[in-house]
Structure 1
Amino acid sequence: MDIQLWQILVLAAYAALAQYDGLHFLVGLPKPAIAGLFAGLVMGDVTTGLLVGGTIQLMNLGVSNYGGASIPDYMSATLISTALTISTGQGVEFAVGIGVPAALLLVQLDILARMANTFFQHKAENYADKRDYKKVKLMNILGVIPWSLSRFVPVFVVLFFGADVVNKILAASPQWFLTGLQVAGGLLPAIGIAILLKYLPLKTYAPYLVIGFAFAAFLNLPVMGVALIGGAIAFIKFKEREEQASKELSSTQVSGGGFDEDE
C-alpha cells in the first residue's frame, strides 16, 4: 500500500502543529499514543496506529526535556513508523526498530530549531528595549516557524521517499539484522517501564507490583483489567487511610476535651 501525498501532508502538518502544541497549548498532541492514533486514522488502520503509538509511549515514560534539554522526538518517530508500518505491512517490532533511530536523529534537528529560534528572541528583546511591542509579538510568532519546520520537513521527506526505500532495505537486509530489530523493539518498552519504576516507591508497594505482574504474566489478564484491579485496590487503601485519619482526629479531640475538663 503506497502512502498518498495528501496523507504525507496531513501527517507532516500534524507534526508541526504538535510541536507548537507542546510549547504552548499542552493539549497532548506530542504524545506518541495520540500521534499513533491520528496516524492510524489517516492511514486507515487505527489498530496498528494504537499499537505502535502505545508501544513507543512506553519507551517515552519518564522522559522529558527538563531544563530545556533536547530529547528524542518520539512524536515524529511515531508518525513515521506508523505510516511506514502500515504501508509495508510489517509488524510493531519493525515500527519500533524504525522509530527509535528516527527519534534519535531528530534530536539534532531539535537543536537546530532551538538555535534558529534564539535569533527571533534576541530580535524581540531589542524591540522590547525600544518599546516596539507589535514587533515583539511578531518575533514571537515568527519564532514558531523553525520549531514547526524541524518536525514538518523530516516527516514529509521520510514519508515521501520512505516506503520504497524501506522495502528495498528490507529486501537487502540479512535476517540477523531484522531479528535484531525485533529483539530491540521488544526490549525498549521494558526499559522505559524500568526507568519509570526507578522513581516509584517500590520498597513500600512491592507486593502490589508482584500481584500486577502475576495477573498479566500467568493469568493473561489484559492491561486494562490489571489497571482496573489496581485502581480498585488504590481506592480501598485510600478509604482505609481516610477512615484511620478520621479516627485519629476524633481520638485527638476526645483526648483534648478530657484534658480541658481536668484543668
Structure 2
Amino acid sequence: MFIKALLVALYAFWIESPLTFNTRFFAFGRPLVSGFIIGLILGDPVKGTMIGATINAVYIGVIVVGDQTPADTRIAGVLGSALGILADMTPEMALAVIIPIALVGVSFRTLRQSLFSVLAHRADKYAQEDNPRGIALVNVIPPTVFAIIYPGLATFLAVYYGPEAVQSVLGFLPKQLIAGLQATGKLLPSVGYAMLLHYMTATSLAMLPMFFIGFILAAFLGLDILAVVGMGICAAFMIYKPKAKEVASLE
C-alpha cells in the first residue's frame, strides 16, 4: 500500500506542479484522465475510468477564472478514484464522498494564490533587472514546493490511511443513508451538464443541436460513449476546420 499511495501522491503532485507544462489543462487535470491513470496504478483502470467519468460529469461545466474553481477538480479526480477503488465503492458513492473533500480542497488553492501574489513583486523586480532566470525560478520553485505539501503529502496520507477509515465508516452507515448518497451521486452529474448547457447557450444557440445529437446517439441508439466522442471530434473538424482561403485572408 505504501508504494501505491506514493505513486498516487506523485501523480497528484505532478498535475498540480508547473512540471506539467500546462498539459493538465487539456488532459491530466481532468477527472476522467486522472481516474484512468489512478486505476492503472491501483490495478483497476476500468473502475478508475468509470469513477473519473462520473466525477468529470459534475464539473464538466466548470470554468476556471484566475486558476480558481468552485471545487478542486484535480484532487477530486485523484482522490475520488483512489478511494473509490480501494474501498470498493460504486462510482455514485465515490462521487458523493469526494464532493465535500473537493470543496475543502479549493481553500488550499486560494491560500496558495494568496501567498504567491507576494512573489509577483519579486518577479517584477527581476524583470526590471532583465533577469529571466530569476523570473523562471520564482515561477517554478515556490509552486513546486507547495505542490509537494498539497496535494502531494495530503494525497499520500489520504490514500495510505483513508481506505480503511472509509470502509469502517461505510460499514457503520445505515443502508438507507448509503442509498441516499448513491441517489445523490446519480443526480449530481445533471448539475454539471446544466452548467455546460448554460454556458453553451449564453451567447448563441448554434451548439445546442450538437448536444442533443450526442444524447440521442447514446440514449436511444445505444452507441458506446467512445463512439459518440469520436463522431463529435470528426464533426468538429468538419465544421470548424479553417479553409485555405480564410487562412490566406488572415495572413
TM-score (normalised: structure 2): 0.79
1:80 maps to what in 2? Answer: 79
Partner of 2:219: 217
How high is the sequence identity, in percent, across the aligned residues?
Answer: 28
Give RMSD over aligned pairs: 3.1
2:23 aligns with: 26
Amino acid in structure 2 at the alignment position of 1:221: L
Q: CA deviation at 1:43?
A: 0.2
Give the length in aligned residue pairs.
238
Q: Structure 2: which 5+ runs fail to align?
A: 244-251
- 1:115 Cα deviation (Å)? 2.2
Contact residue 35 and residue 52 of structure 2 kept, 8 A: yes
Partner in structure 2 of residue 118 of structure 1: 117
Distance 1:85 1:64 in 2: 26
1:255 is matched with none
Structure 1 gap segments, 5+ residues each: 243-263
Question: Which residue in the other structure is 2:101 paired with?
Answer: 102
Q: Amino acid of the residue matched to residue 18 of structure 1?
A: I
> Which residue identity does 1:213 align to in structure 2?
F
Query: Residue 42 and residue 56 in structure 1: after superposition, are their counterparts in 2 closer, same or farther (change >3 A)?
Result: same
Q: How far apart are the structure 2 equivalents of 1:87 and 1:226?
A: 30
Q: What are the superposed Cα offsets for residues 36-76 of structure 1, whole Å, 9 maximum, x if unpaired?
A: 11100000001011111111112221213213434311221
Aligned to 1:250: none
Alignment of 1:189-228 (within 5 A): 189-201=189-201, 203-204=205-206, 209-227=211-229
Return the structure number with greater relative CO, CA threshold 8 A, min gap 6: 2
1:245 is matched with: none
Q: Aligned equivalents of 1:142 and 1:77: distance in 2?
A: 25
CA separation of 1:22/1:105 partners in 2, compared to 1, >3 Å: closer, same or farther?
farther
CA distance in 1 between counterparts of 2:208 and 2:132 reads 56
In the aligned structure 2, how far is the partner of 1:221 from the partner of 1:34?
A: 21
2: CA distance, partners of 1:235 / 1:67 = 29
Q: Structure 1 residues 237 and 113, CA, compared in 2 at 3 Å: closer, same or farther?
A: closer
How high is the TM-score relative to the length of structure 1? Answer: 0.76
Which one of 9, 20, 27 corresponds to residue 12 of structure 1?
A: 9
1:154-188 CA deviation, whole Å, 9 max, x = no partner? 21121122011101110111222211211121111
Letter in 1 for 2:54: T
Any residues of structure 2 matched to 1:25-64 within 5 Å, and which? 25-27=22-24, 28-64=27-63
Tell me if the contact between 1:32 and 1:53 (Cα under 8 Å) persists in the aligned partners. yes
